[in-house]
Amino acid sequence: MWLRLKRVYQAFLPHRARPDDAWALSELRVEEAHLYQAMDPRDREHAVRVAQRLLERYPEAPSFVVRAALLHDCGKALRPYRPLERILSGLVPLEVPIEPLQKGLLGAWQIRQHHPEYGAARILDPEVAQLVREHHQPQSLWAQRLREVDEAF
């Protein structure tokens, strides 16, 4: 419960996010860096925490896994994803089609539900794209580990 309250609080304070962009960019390939940099600062901070925790737990993690951890939420950057939209789409489950991407609240639900697919479609490396695509419904060991770490934040 504390984690949820903290996330609600942080949703309204993007200026307080302090992602370690230098570290993240040193881990990413050039073609992946623009996807990371397009993310909201809160999502970048979360991504860095997930990637670093993943490395703490699994120091043998290959580069593509660390890069997937850094990009697992990059699909949220397709459209503005405002604080109230983040909260409402998280509280009220709603099944929505993946396309066409809508504006307003319906678009927020689409981003919430389909961001793994949106992100994976933009990633060139097939191994990274597959982990990003699977991070909510893991089908491989590394996707399962990524989800476990992601859920801790």
For the chain, 153 residues long, give each residue's pLDDT as a single digit of tens: 555 555 555 555 666 778 999 999 999 999 999 999 999 998 999 999 999 999 999 999 999 999 999 999 999 999 887 888 888 888 888 899 999 999 888 999 999 999 999 999 999 999 999 999 999 999 999 999 999 999 988
Query: Domain residues for 24?
Result: 2-81+116-151
Asked whether the CA dihedral 83, 87, 92, 96 is positive or negative, the reply is positive
Q: Is residue 64 part of a domain?
A: yes
Length of the chain: 153
The counts of H helices and E strands in the chain are 9, 0
DSSP 3-state of 137: coil
Residue 97 covered by a domain: no
Q: What is the pLDDT, as a whole number, of residue 14?
A: 62
Q: What's the total number of domains in the chain?
A: 1
Query: Nearest-5° angle of CA 100, CA 102, CA 105?
Result: 145
Whether 119 and 75 have beta carbons less than 8 Å apart is answered as: yes
Domain membership flag for residue 13: yes
Within a domain: 101: no
Distance of CA 95 to CAs 101, 110, 111, Å?
A: 13, 8, 11
Within-domain flag for 39: yes
